[in-house]
Amino acid sequence: MAQVELAGLTKHYGAAAAVDDVTLVIEQGAFTVLLGPSGCGKTTTLRMVGGFIEPTAGRIRIGARDVTREPPWRRNIGLVFQNYALFPHLTVFENVAFGLRRRRVRDPDLTRRVTAALDLVRLGEFATRLPRAMSGGQQQRVAIARAVAIEPDVLLLDEPLSNLDAKLRHDVRAELAALQKRLGLTTVMVTHDQDEAMSLGQNLVVMSEGRVRQVGPPATIYRRPIDRFVAGFVGRGTFLAGTAQGDVFVTARGARIACVALNPAATVLLVRPEAVRLRPPDAGFPQAVVQSAVFAGAAHEVALRLDSGEVLQALASGDPSTGQCYGIEIEPTAPVGLAPEQERMA
Amino acid sequence: MVRGARWQERLARVGIVGLAWLSLLVVVLPLGLVVWLSFFADEIPALPPAGYSLRWYRAALGLPQFASGFETSLIVAVMATTAGLLVSIPAALVLARGRFPGRSVIVQVLTAPLIVPAIVIGAGMYVAFVQAEVATGLELTGNAATLAAGHALLTIPWCLRLLLANLAGLDPATEEAALSLGARPFTAVRLITLPMVWPGVVAAALFSFVVSFSNLEISIFLVVPGETTLPIAIFQYLQWKMDPTVAAVSTLQIAIVGLGLLLTNRFVPLGRVL
């Protein structure tokens, strides 16, 4: 277990920068998620930490070691791939034992550690099977056992859940979270799925165009996104153009939204759907009309047209129908004012 | 409409199945005829045969040029196959994953002998060996190693093509997993990559063996009297006689190759790699 430090990490392919000056401290024992759209450089970053891509510039430290020029086989990392990458000709036991054998671990230690790793993913009785005789979820659990059996300094997960179907993804996700907490492994996962990122990550690193846009716990990223890109990529919401006037944001079309601690330079206001409360139309709040409603299980996702003509995304319990009128109350601490410098970056 | 469509569909299916059987017939018929002919009693084959006999097998086994030809062919085929694998396995491993300048040039050079007529290769090799002999004073032609060197020009491209196709279907992540677990590149290739392409290696060896064993065009330039391969012995015999001895030799050859294929298939399902 160790802390991972990236300093000015850069990878150029010709003139194009896949990863551009990424400086980042990945906390020891924490679950960190690199999140971003495809092509944002998250996988390239992960593969540089793994030692499979040589950085153009910058340094990588794992604990006290500078591993920038170390080949993968000397880095002591656990790696889990999207498509499992199990050794098809070896049994589950031998798959998990592979890393230990390379470290010259002998019986009885070997069997004990392999069994322990398999028990960890509840596959103890599958030791003699071949990978192809197992389901995708089981195969990915074998891959996880194989990666943690060597007691890596850092566990790298490259979209580990993307090949699993929705139900299974949920199960393996929970299992992964529990396992990581139990072992206290420094873990870095790459994903483009924001739900996955928010539910697993203690820290999120939001990337785009090869750069880190924001680092922080999921709640902070969600509630206080630093710019329009982060706000749009993580979570949903409405972006309203306008200006800050004291603690009131006046939208371009004249709607007034009271906010607490509003950024005076804000030109765009982010309003998350759950910040919008629906009240009876006669309760004295500004009024809005339901423009569309989509059933989403626990609530309806509704689009509300304000008197100003602007449309707000919100969540409505009950059975809202198109054309219905509500009073609108916006939780004043929730909206985020985004200043133009921050927006221009997006 | 529906009935018409069904009728056409059925016709199409019958057509495809018929075509498949026809193709099979075209492939198998000459082999079947050779086998049949080998049992004819007559010295000059005629239809219908006057009777059946095993005398041509006795004759074939009794002729020294066939026995020694068989031995030479076997030795040469084993050597050429070994040479083909020794060159093409490392080459394929590098060429399959590397993206470096000159990669496609190397692939082209290594597979080029497939598009050069074998007779040209044979003539070229002969001239080259003679020149080398003149220059060095060493005796280079007329031995199994020379023949194997010539045949290697055919086995290398065959092996390389088959191995590259096999390696292309391999997920590089599997090897990366091995590296991340602490395996050095050589260990990863030995323990993971090669076992995964093992069927491809077997298929390559098999193809090489057959290509070398049955080669006539290159061998004919590189053999010396008294030291010939089986195809050349057959060819020479045919120039003088038309009796079924040659059919008997061919049948034995077919049986040996067929047996080899069956044995291989027990260990590596050939349907998956060919």
Chain B interface disruption, residue of A81, A82, A86, most B CBs within 10 A: A81
Looking at the predicted structure, is the pLDDT value of residue B274 above 70? no
CB pairs under 8 A between A and B: 67
CB contact (8 A) between residue B181 and residue A102: yes
pLDDT of residue A327: 86
pLDDT of residue A344: 46
- pLDDT tens-digit series, residues A294-313: 888 888 888 988 888 888 88
Q: Which residue of A73, A78, A143 is in closest CB contact with B183?
A: A73
Q: Which residue of A has its CA nearest to B185?
A: A73
Instruction: Tell me, yes or no, whether B242 lies in a domain.
Output: yes
pLDDT of residue B85: 93
**DSSP 3-state assignment of B112?**
helix
CB contact (8 A) between residue B182 and residue A150: yes
Instruction: Tell me, yes or no, whether B49 lies in a domain.
Output: yes
Instruction: Tell me, yes or no, whether B123 lies in a domain.
Output: yes
DSSP 8-class letter at A73: G
pLDDT of residue A1: 67
Instruction: Tell me, yes or no, whether B104 lies in a domain.
Output: yes
Neighbours of B106 (CB within 10 A): 15
Residue A139: pLDDT band (50, 70, 90) is very high
User: What is the domain extent for residue B77?
Assistant: 41-272
CB contact (8 A) between residue B180 and residue A102: no
Instruction: Tell me, yes or no, whether B2 lies in a domain.
Output: no
DSSP per residue over A116-155, as a string? HHHHHTT-GGGTTS-GGGS-HHHHHHHHHHHHHHT--SEE
pLDDT of residue A112: 93
DSSP per residue over B185-214, as a string? HHHHIIIIIHHHTHHHHHHHHHHHHHHHHT
Q: Which of B157, B129, B161 is nearest to B143 (CA)?
A: B129
CATH number at residue B119: 1.10.3720.10
Parallel, antiparallel, or unpaired for β A16-26 and A65-66? unpaired
Instruction: Tell me, yes or no, whether B87 lies in a domain.
Output: yes
Q: Which residue of A has its CA nearest to B170?
A: A85
Global pTM reads: 0.79
Q: Going by C-beta distance under 8 Å and a sequence separation of 6 or more, which residues neighbour residue B29?
A: none
Most confident residue range from A81-95, B122-136, B141-155, B158-172: A81-95
What domains does chain A contain, in order, with CATH numbers?
4-230 (3.40.50.300), 236-344 (2.40.50.140)
Contact status of B97 with chain A (Cβ, < 8 Å):
no
pLDDT of residue A343: 47
Give the B window 162-181 contacts with A, CB below 8 Å: 171, 173-174, 176-181
C-alpha distance from A85 to closest chain B C-alpha (Å): 5
As a whole number, mean pLDDT of residues B164-176 equals 87
Residue B273: pLDDT band (50, 70, 90) is low
- pLDDT tens-digit series, residues B243-271: 788 888 888 888 888 887 787 777 666 66
Q: Which residue of A75, A79, A102 is in closest CB contact with B183?
A: A102
Instruction: Tell me, yes or no, whether B1 lies in a domain.
Output: no
Q: Going by C-beta distance under 8 Å and a sequence separation of 6 or more, which residues neighbour residue B158?
A: B84, B114, B204, B207, B208, B211
Q: Which residue of B176, B187, B195 is in closest CB contact with A89?
A: B195
Q: How many domains does chain B have?
A: 1
A44 with A156: CB under 8 angstroms? no
Instruction: Tell me, yes or no, whether B35 lies in a domain.
Output: no
As a whole number, mean pLDDT of residues A43-61 equals 93
Residue A88: pLDDT band (50, 70, 90) is very high
pLDDT of residue A43: 92
